[in-house]
Amino acid sequence: MTFSPIMTNDLTAIIPAFAGGTLDRADQVRVDPVRLKEAMMRPSARLLKLDGLNPVLDEMGDLAWGPLYEASPDNDLLLLGMDGDTPCFAELSGAGSATSIPDPRLWQSLSMLSPDQAGIYATARSLVDWHARHGYCSNCGQITVSRKGGWSRSCVREEGGCGAEHFPRTDPVAIMLAECQGKILLGRQPRFPPKRFSALAGFIEPGESIEGGVARELWEEAGIKVRNVRYVASQPWPFPSSLMMACTSETDDPTLTLDEEEVEEAAWFSLDEVIAAMNGEPDALFIAPPPFAIAHDLLKYWINEQGG
């Protein structure tokens, strides 16, 4: 899979996991019923294998694909995109997740996937899940149907609906470091595994900028006021469909007031302490976030910025 609209000669760029998808999303095929049908009929067309929402890996640890005819005739198809001349689909199986916390067994599969594979999986997982939870029109309550190769759902006017068109949802989330006197703030959510600390995070709300959301979250969750909010990198996070935006910020006063519903523990960590955790040293003060989480890239970025 070699298509990419982005020229990757920028050696300083951070490409977090899930952010490396290289299928041509082929929006001009999605919206054209004739071209979409033609893509489905192509003998090379292939189907991403999923186990519910989880990936199926082949013996090489890559995403497993089958022929398109393996899809159930009852399910709509999602056009993931084109791999050269090969149309790549996933099946809208109705699999949805009740929670945003994925199956712990999934983490191991994810750590085996290459960046472009993880990007394809992220797209498929978010969309299969979105369709499963959007069978009805939020505007009028009538049934919706998949349209545009799975990139929208329509409420059907001919069947008494209001005709509204609904698009897949992507929720922007800020994930951030605050720096104070050479140390950074990390915290634990109650659901984290033991000893894991990571960057604080929260959804951007309507009427907020990314920078405003970073400042609000740090105020709400940790009671600190920050300045110099800086964007670092972003990552799609398909649990179920977030866009993680990693930022740094600064403060002068390290006094913490925690919102213990959201953050059960938080502390300021020095460069040496962060390096020890990122290196997985046995006496490290905490366990760092896993490599496929953008918090990991953010900590690496911060270490580099310190000349560490």
Residues 214-233 that bind its own copies (CB under 8 A): 215-216, 218-220, 225-229, 231, 233
> Which of 10-18, 46-54, 60-68, 278-286 is the region at the interface with its own copies (rule: CB under 8 A)?
10-18
Instruction: Name which position in 212, 265, 285, 300 contacts its own copies (CB under 8 A).
Output: 212
The sign one gets for the Cα dihedral 220, 226, 228, 230 is negative
Burial grade of 201 (CB within 10 A; 0-12, 13-18, 19 or more): buried
Give the whole-angstrom CA distance, residue 237 versus residue 215: 22
Asked if 167 interacts with its own copies (CB under 8 A), we say yes
CA-to-CA dists, residue 96 to 51, 121, 128, 134, 241, angstroms = 11, 15, 7, 10, 12
Window 93 to 152, contacts with its own copies (CB under 8 A): 119-120, 122-124, 126-127, 130, 133-144, 151
Asked if 71 interacts with its own copies (CB under 8 A), we say no
Asked if 264 interacts with its own copies (CB under 8 A), we say no
**In this structure, what token pair is assigned to residue 25?**
């999303």
To its own copies, the closest distance from the beta carbon of 18 in angstroms equals 7
To its own copies, the closest distance from the beta carbon of 43 in angstroms equals 26
Angle formed by the axes of helices 271-278 and 294-305, nearest 10°: 140
Give the number of other CB atoms < 10 A from CB of residue 44: 13
To its own copies, the closest distance from the beta carbon of 269 in angstroms equals 22
Asked if 172 interacts with its own copies (CB under 8 A), we say yes
Give the total of residues touching its own copies (CB under 8 A). 76
